[in-house]
Amino acid sequence: MVTIIVAAHGESAPALLKTAGMILGNFENVHPVTFLPGQGPEDLVEEYTRIVEASEAEETLLLVDLFGGSPYNAGAQFAATREGVDVVSGVNVPMLIEVISGAGRKNATLKSLVAKAHKAGTKGIRSFQEANQPAAAKPAEAKPAETKAVEVPAAQQVPGGTMDAIFTRIDSRLIHGQVAGTWVPHIAPQTFIAASDNAAHDQLRKSLLLQVAPTSVKTNVLDIAKAGRVYNNPKYTGMKTMFVVESPVDVVRLLDEGVKINEVNVGGVTFKTGMVQLSDAVYASEEHLEAYRELIKRGVKLTVQQLPNHSPVDLEKILKQKGLDA
């Protein structure tokens, strides 16, 4: 027997199962997991663990919405530490129906259900017009060029020169769909650095972050000290760089390492016990609040903004309104 977990952003996982129920009728051992604003990867891992430990099945298949999104990243972390677990992204109704139907057979295995998910998920995507056109040979697709770190030519290097930190974001998840798929294309940096001691020193997490990193730009996961050294290396003078860090504490540390930051995008900090809510997706501990006050004192502008098409909100005003500015 194989346990099926369907995990997706918002309330879409329960909705997908409700749709599948309209077609298949009642089924068992299929569990929806929601991912709502304010939740983090650890909440997803906790829910995955609860479902698996309560099940008698020996194998588990997670069907998630977005490759590189938090349900996938948490699932990959979960699968990397357990046997008999796999994660397939891009869940849709055809995939779900085929997998649930297959899971009901006595000889169902994780491997066979993964194969069904791949086949049904892609085969179910059809265009009426294309299906009624004569078959035509498809041109060979060009492979994406491998991204490489590019040094500034020696003639353009300036003694004491530094990178140009064009954008800095606070996001406790570091690299995920909103960052890789929306902010990086919007900012268009030449290089992208996730600066985090925790991630840089956790080989599994670092590997997962790089796996979902944007392919259009060279990405590195560095600890704060090394990020500072790279920023201050004349070899990269003027290179337009985007930083993402886990908390405002790390922004203060980057400033102390000599990184020049005038403005910070506060994108998302997930809730932990004892934190206060600043916006729909931003929570803060007392340590975070002290760091925000320090950044304001240093003249750094702080704006809360999840996505580029959202209106930015001045964090200093939020702190004053909530009586947290001192």
Q: Is residue 131 part of a domain?
A: no
Residue 202: Cβ-neighbour burial (10 angstroms; 0-12, 13-18, 19+): middle
Look at 32 and 133; give whichever has higher pLDDT: 32
Of 118, 176, 201, 310, the catalytic one is: 176
Residue at which a domain ends, from 84, 100, 123: 123
CA dihedral sign, ordered 265, 267, 271, 277: positive
23 neighbors 43 (Cβ within 8 angstroms)? no
Q: Is residue 256 part of a domain?
A: yes
Residue at which a domain ends, from 80, 106, 123: 123
Tell me, yes or no, whether 165 and 207 share the same domain: yes
Q: What is the pLDDT of residues 107-119, one digit of tens each?
A: 899 999 999 999 9
Tell me, yes or no, whether 212 and 85 share the same domain: no
Tell me, yes or no, whether 274 and 161 share the same domain: yes
31 is catalytic: no
pLDDT score at 152? 61
Range of the domain at 303: 154-321
Structure tokens at 46: 């906790």
Residue at which a domain ends, from 78, 104, 123: 123
- Which of 174, 191, 170, 187 has its CA nearest to residue 264? 170
Residue 268, helix vs strand vs coil = strand
User: Is the pLDDT reported for residue 253 higher than 70?
Assistant: yes
Tell me, yes or no, whether 118 and 160 share the same domain: no
E runs forming strands in the chain: 2-9, 30-35, 59-64, 85-89, 164-171, 191-195, 218-222, 240-245, 263-268, 276-277, 283-284, 301-304, 313-314
Mean of pLDDT over the chain: 91
Q: 10 Å Cβ neighbour count for 126? A: 8
Mean pLDDT of 157-176: 90
Residue bearing tokens 């009586």: 323
Tell me, yes or no, whether 168 and 65 share the same domain: no
pLDDT score at 156? 63
Domain containing 98 — which CATH number?
3.40.50.510
pLDDT score at 71? 95
Q: What is the pLDDT of residues 1-43, one digit of tens each?
A: 899 999 999 999 999 999 999 988 889 999 999 999 889 999 9
Q: Is residue 144 part of a domain?
A: no
Q: Is residue 285 part of a domain?
A: yes
Q: Is residue 141 part of a domain?
A: no
Tell me, yes or no, whether 75 and 161 share the same domain: no
Number of domains in the chain: 2
Tell me, yes or no, whether 180 and 316 share the same domain: yes
Q: Is residue 71 part of a domain?
A: yes
Q: What is the DSSP secondary structure assignment for residue 207, as one 8-state letter? A: H
Q: How far apart are CA 38 and CA 216, in angstroms?
A: 29
Of 9, 118, 186, 288, the catalytic one is: 9
Domain containing 192 — which CATH number?
3.40.35.10
Tell me, yes or no, whether 175 and 302 share the same domain: yes
Tell me, yes or no, whether 107 and 167 share the same domain: no
Q: How far apart are the first and last CA of the chain?
A: 57
State the Cα angle at 45 between 272 and 183, rounded to 5°. Answer: 70
Tell me, yes or no, whether 82 and 168 share the same domain: no
Mean pLDDT of 200-211: 92
Please give the single-letter amino acid code of residue 80. A
Cα–chain center distance at 10: 15
pTM of the complete model beyond 0.85 = no
pLDDT score at 177? 82
Q: What is the pLDDT of residues 255-306, one digit of tens each?
A: 999 999 999 999 999 999 999 999 999 999 999 999 999 999 999 999 999 9
186 is catalytic: no
Q: How far apart are CA 178 and CA 189, in angstroms?
A: 16
Tell me, yes or no, whether 177 and 237 share the same domain: yes
Q: Is residue 139 part of a domain?
A: no
Tell me, yes or no, whether 213 and 88 share the same domain: no
Q: Is residue 132 part of a domain?
A: no
pLDDT score at 144? 41
User: Is the pLDDT reported for residue 210 higher than 60?
Assistant: yes
Q: How far apart are CA 124 and CA 316, in angstroms?
A: 49
